[in-house]
């Protein structure tokens, strides 16, 4: 019916050569949606280089054709292969008939929204990198991502009341020497928030439905949603977004309903093939001149506090990362009518499989309810057939 539409949103996605089979468990979901979009986690180049083997060439992206209508590019890895990766990834998307946003050869291009139309409904999508690294941020003269800029502050661990430093106004006029361990925290810059709000409002004026993707959140940290993440999400909805989608954390994060609009604070992974991150992968990807792969695998275990499960050799993520989900937006009469979640579970082959109200689907739903409550978020989930309604 004209004005009716089903949108499906996936989280972080990265594939390698011969990964067509990894979509078998999600193909029915994608086939039954009118628009499908995911966050493309990494850049790809047209030809192999010293830093990019066959799994990082655009040929590996072939399974996305016909399955995905739009990819967001505003991730922390988008500049990993420099200007070549930015240029070749965008060129492949355009040649393949896949819209993209959030990344560009200049900042103006990266900030440009993508628009798609189905059944008389015009859908707009914007995406921002809100976690850095700042070298990945585009400028007027170099490629990269659109972004929400931030200032990083460090708070000493031994401070029982870190807030008391903020009250000592005179002392803060001079340099402050910090000794010992500190927590690092990012805070969005007010000017950048204003710029982002204006971009949302301008894009909404050009479409019926607007989706805002933020690459945000604490990676591999369960049930943690920072105040600034909620601030960003609320700001987007206040300025016209109909739905907010979070990527980056590689674990599910909770859900929130704000002014009747759903905020998916973290969808976890969609299709993620990353054997190079596993210390136990047979035929592990070798170091290149720039990757230092073996060193990073060891540091990753130390930094994030978990050892990858050896039974998941191509999916070396937090144990809770086996629970993931796709978001679904039902549009009726050109308006957002219903927000849903489709539970998925990653099996030992590294691929996600959609589950309805079966044992694994209920386990994923229970996990979502728990982390939503632990994060202090207000969304509730109820089963409607084989899917979860967010309310």
Q: Enumerate the β-bridge partners of residue 183.
A: 155
Nearby residues of 315 by Cβ (< 8 Å), 6 or more positions away? 272, 273, 274, 321, 322, 346, 350
Residue 222's CB is within 10 A of a number of other CB atoms, namely 19
Whether 236 and 229 have beta carbons less than 8 Å apart is answered as: no
The dihedral built from the CA positions of residue 311, 313, 318 and 320, taken in this order, carries a sign that is negative
pLDDT confidence of residue 355: 96
Higher-pLDDT residue of 255, 304: 255
Q: What is the mean pLDDT of residues 74-103?
A: 98
Dist. CA 384–CA 228, nearest whole Å: 32
Dist. CA 271–CA 269, nearest whole Å: 6
The answer on pLDDT for 149 being more than 70 is yes
pLDDT confidence of residue 183: 76
The answer on pLDDT for 173 being more than 80 is no
Q: What is the mean pLDDT of residues 174-196?
A: 85
pLDDT confidence of residue 287: 47
Both tokens assigned to 28: 């029915």
Nearby residues of 238 by Cβ (< 8 Å), 6 or more positions away? 197, 259
Dist. CA 175–CA 233, nearest whole Å: 34
Dist. CA 244–CA 261, nearest whole Å: 8
Higher-pLDDT residue of 288, 140: 140
Measured in whole angstroms, how far is the alpha carbon of residue 225 from the centre of its chain? 14
Q: What is the mean pLDDT of residues 325-351?
A: 97
Whether 364 and 379 have beta carbons less than 8 Å apart is answered as: no
User: Average model confidence (pLDDT) for the chain?
Assistant: 91
The answer on pLDDT for 283 being more than 50 is no
Both tokens assigned to 62: 């072939």
Nearest to 48 by CA among 14, 10, 86, 81: 81
pLDDT confidence of residue 304: 76
Nearest to 222 by CA among 322, 135, 139, 138: 322
User: For residue 332, how many C-alpha atoms fall within 13 Å in the half-sphere facing its CB?
Assistant: 4
Both tokens assigned to 306: 């978990």
pLDDT confidence of residue 282: 42
pTM exceeds 0.75 for this model: yes
Ordered by where they begin, the domains of the chain are 5-149+189-390 (3.60.21.10)
Classified as helix, coil or strand, 166 is helix
Please tell me what DSSP assigns to residue 272.
E
Whether 73 and 89 have beta carbons less than 8 Å apart is answered as: yes
Under the banding of pLDDT at 50, 70 and 90, the label for residue 164 is low
pLDDT confidence of residue 233: 98
Classified as helix, coil or strand, 211 is strand
The answer on pLDDT for 285 being more than 80 is no
The answer on pLDDT for 272 being more than 80 is yes
Q: Enumerate the β-bridge partners of residue 243.
A: 211, 262
Dist. CA 111–CA 59, nearest whole Å: 26
Q: Give the H/E segment covering residue 298.
A: helix 293-304
């Amino acid at each position: 019916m004209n004005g009716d539409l089903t949108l499906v949103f996936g989280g972080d996605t990265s594939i390698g050569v011969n990964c067509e089979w990894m979509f078998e468990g999600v193909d029915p979901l994608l086939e039954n949606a009118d628009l499908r979009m995911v966050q493309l986690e990494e850049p790809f180049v047209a030809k192999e280089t010293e830093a990019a083997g066959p799994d990082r060439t655009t040929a590996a992206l072939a399974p996305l054709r016909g399955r995905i209508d739009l990819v967001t590019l505003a991730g922390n890895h988008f500049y990993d292969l420099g200007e070549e990766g930015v240029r070749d990834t965008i060129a492949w998307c355009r040649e393949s008939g896949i819209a993209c946003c959030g990344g560009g050869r200049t900042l103006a291009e990266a900030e440009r929204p993508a628009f798609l139309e189905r059944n008389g409904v015009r859908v707009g999508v914007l995406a921002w990198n809100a976690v850095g690294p700042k070298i990945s941020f585009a400028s007027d003269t170099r490629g990269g991502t659109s972004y929400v800029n931030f200032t990083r502050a460090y708070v000493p661990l031994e401070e029982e009341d870190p807030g008391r430093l903020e009250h000592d106004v005179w002392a803060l006029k001079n340099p402050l020497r910090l000794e010992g361990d500190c927590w690092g925290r990012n805070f969005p810059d007010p000017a950048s928030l204003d710029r982002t709000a204006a971009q949302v409002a301008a894009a909404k004026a050009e479409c019926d439905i607007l989706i805002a993707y933020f690459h945000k959140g604490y990676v591999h940290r369960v049930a943690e949603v920072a105040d600034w993440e909620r601030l960003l999400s609320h700001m987007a909805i206040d300025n016209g977004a109909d739905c907010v989608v979070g990527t980056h954390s590689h674990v599910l994060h909770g859900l929130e309903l704000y002014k009747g609009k759903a905020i998916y604070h973290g969808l976890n992974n969609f299709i993620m093939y990353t054997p190079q991150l596993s210390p136990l992968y047979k035929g592990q990807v070798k170091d290149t001149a720039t990757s230092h792969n073996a060193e990073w695998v060891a540091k990753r275990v130390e930094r994030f506090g978990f050892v990858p499960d050896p039974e998941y050799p191509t999916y070396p993520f937090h144990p809770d990362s086996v629970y993931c989900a796709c978001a679904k937006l039902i549009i009726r009469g050109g308006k957002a009518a219903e927000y849903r979640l489709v539970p998925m579970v990653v099996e030992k082959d590294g691929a996600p499989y959609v589950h309805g109200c079966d044992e694994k689907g209920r386990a994923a739903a229970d996990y979502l309810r728990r982390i939503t409550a632990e994060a202090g978020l207000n969304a509730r989930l109820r089963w409607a057939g084989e899917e979860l309604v967010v309310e």
